[in-house]
Structure 1
């Protein structure tokens, strides 16, 4: 179904929002324009005072004017949009203008939206992205579709697993409890098989979370 609603991807840090949007966007669109608003706020602040659609287009054109083609082949990705809360309101007018295709992402968007004077709910479709669940985790570790299909069938029919398979699944579940579902942590585990290295990445992300939380509540 065609729609001019703007997709808004919410989720915690390090769940893979930017990676998946960039991966899919570059495959589906000839012209992929990515703007990170945290980087902009720390550097040129081109979007700090953007209030209108025309202002927004002007700043985008300064960064990637040659890629601003038609709606069907141009995707503008507004990353870390929470850095400029006023841009959340602007999404309504970008949607109404319908000149390009847009997707936005950010962290703690529920908090940002609650402090936004005009929430563009009719103009956005908000989806929350989560870390990998257990099934996704074991797929990454190598379980194939056939094995998962057999496991699901046994579960649906309340049938027990044989001891070997049961032990295998319990071992994978213990690994999931240790590693978790954040992509960077999982990649570290796959590359090193070192729980100490995994813990270092987890602690680093934990510090990011604390820093984010402190911005909204002392």
Structure 2
């Protein structure tokens, strides 16, 4: 458990223990939210009073159904109205529909109660707290490990040192050491769920991935979301795993799955709300020339996607290695940028850029598993840059390390690992 302190989010969580804001940790099941909260509880100064309650346990939910009931629960666990700060840790709080108002009343009327809560469904959480906790909360999204965190969990100092020094390489086409390639391949194959990362052997990793999905189905889908057509839901997930990173045509997909378009959209929204995947929308300014409707869908963990594909082959043996590499880049961007919009760009003539990262400056990012440095690698990116008068673009591959200047436009080829390390 101690190793979770190496997670990049942990210092932020620890720092926010000292203010009054309600801390909300969201993310998929088994990503480490509960463990992080228990570690935060251990960080409390000697003598600080606290309580931990898991709302996944049905019998605990009655405590959160009313302010009076929750206060009685706190009193029984040592809370004193005139005492020092009392820390209340609530796991899977979205299971209690009325708890948002309870939290609001506690925050407004009991200033010495500090609430730290976690949940696995972003929509349920937003519905519970959007209005009631306005101005009273900080929300932190907890994702599977990124590659840097993965290396820390694996514990190899030599591999971590290689990672830290890749940016120093000068050759236009670089080659990674074999031992680094092996550890990267493991990450791209089995993903970044902490328990999977720490497990020994491929069979154990596969079994843990299966158990993660089984728990997800039991707790979030069957037990909480009340999916009416479970076979269609599972079929949809399997199809999306195959189509990962492709544009999604809702009409065609609904026919393939055998459900109404509205139901399909609800299912995909549910998959996003429960952190299985992420939807990104097109970037556009001209509806006549650019794609404006069809979104793309990316899984948030390559190990989970491979579970649905039933394919754990090493990267070089995969026909979808480009998709895996693109997903890796997307996942690292999501895990390491806060609130920056991410879109993709595509014209009706077929020109496409994988990712457009917004913010103060728009940055087009094209992903190539093995770049060549030639025009075919950056033609679409250059087209976007000219269309929007953006001076700099990035092409991320596994091996290329050079810059190309075309008139006033600069395109930087860099190993994807270099790029995400700087995020």
Q: TM-score range by the shorter chain?
A: 0.7 to 0.9
| 1:12-161 superposed matches below 5 A | 12-29=28-45, 30-39=48-57, 42-43=58-59, 45-47=61-63, 49-50=65-66, 52=67, 54-62=68-76, 64-65=77-78, 70-72=83-85, 74-97=86-109, 98-114=111-127, 118-144=131-157, 148=160, 151-155=163-167, 157=168, 159=170
**What runs of 5+ residues in structure 2 fail to find an aligned partner?**
1-15, 229-423
User: How far apart, in 1, do the equivalents of 2:80 and 2:128 lie?
Assistant: 33
**What runs of 5+ residues in structure 1 fail to find an aligned partner?**
none
Q: CA deviation at 1:169?
A: 1.5
1:120-143 Cα deviation digits (max 9, x unpaired): 121111110111111111111123
Q: Alignment RMSD, CA only?
A: 2.9
Match of 1:183? Answer: 194
Structure 2 counterpart SS, 1:205 = helix
Match of 2:291? Answer: none
Give TM-score scaled by structure 2 length.
0.44
Structure 2 counterpart SS, 1:113 = helix
Q: CA deviation at 1:153?
A: 4.2
- Of residues 188, 207, 214, the one that matches 1:207 is 214
Higher share in helix: 1
Structure of greater Rg: 2
- Of residues 166, 176, 179, the one that matches 1:168 is 179
Structure 1 counterpart SS, 2:62 = coil
Work out which structure has the larger RCO, using CA pairs closer than 8 Å and 6 or more positions apart in sequence. Answer: 1
Give TM-score scaled by structure 1 length.
0.80
